[in-house]
Copies of this chain bind each other. A is one copy, B any other.
Amino acid sequence: MKMSAIKVDNGVNVEALLGAREALTAAPEAAAFKWRATCSWVNGTHSRSSVEKFYGLGAEQSHKTEFNYDADHPAIFASEDKGATPVEYVLVGLASCLTAGIAAVAQNRQIQLRSVKATLEAGMDLQGILGIDSDVRNGFDGIKVTFDIDADATQDEIAALVAQSQKRSAVFDIVTNPTNVSVEIR
């Protein structure tokens, strides 16, 4: 039940996003973005990745600061466990993409969110990456995302929020559809 007397504020600047959509409709070349990361090997399976610069709106852009991420394998694989595993980073990307989308769509639909929590679980048969059975894929055999959402909305409205977030999620698309990856050595 929406109470129109109370201003809906999910912290998303929908006016700016709608303005961006209008501007990029008029100048579609500005919508061509390039996202970047670098990764330096530290030791063993431990690496440190950095994210800072990207390209978009026709110019080089930068985050406010450089973000650094340690990745590693856990101790049960005889590693140092200095960070999440690479596959867990993919889950973080998927979870945060769907969650941000829910907030943006909710704001656009004038639905006040109180809390949103996503719980993700992805099965993976290690016979793939260990080369035990070539019929087993290396990656996840599937990902299950469960949302707990408390919002000033009906169950149907909440379901529609989640569906629209999924429909427009970059990471959902990357994971569910094939993306070409070229690997080169300099």
* Chain A interface residues (CB < 8 Å from chain B): 10-13, 16-17, 20-21, 24-25, 28, 31-41, 43-47, 49, 51, 54, 56-57, 61, 63-64, 67, 69, 71-79, 81, 83-100, 102-104, 113, 115-133, 137-140, 142-149, 155, 158-159, 162, 166, 168-186
Chain B residues within an 8 Å CB radius of A177: 137, 139, 178
Given known contacts A47-B96, A129-B170, A41 and B103 CB-to-CB distance under 8 angstroms: yes
Q: How many copies does the complex hold?
A: 2
Given known contacts A40-B117, A89-B89, A122-B35, A181 and B142 CB-to-CB distance under 8 angstroms: yes
Can you pick out 6 interface pairs between chain A and chain B where the beta carbons lie within 8 Å of each other?
A21-B130, A36-B122, A45-B100, A86-B97, A128-B168, A139-B171
Question: A182 touches which one: B20, B81, B93, B144 (CB < 8 A)?
Answer: B144
Interface of A is mostly: mixed
Bound form: Cα–Cα A132–B7 in Å = 28
Q: Considering the complex, give the chain B residue whose CB is closest to the CB of A36.
A: B121
Given known contacts A32-B123, A38-B118, A144-B184, A63 and B84 CB-to-CB distance under 8 angstroms: yes
Q: How far is the CB of A57 from chain B (nearest CB, A)?
A: 6
Asked if residues B44 and A12 are in contact (CB atoms below 8 Å), the reply is yes
Bound form: Cα–Cα A57–B77 in Å = 11
Bound form: Cα–Cα A90–B16 in Å = 26
Asked if residues A100 and B124 are in contact (CB atoms below 8 Å), the reply is no
Chain B residues within an 8 Å CB radius of A24: 126-127, 130, 132
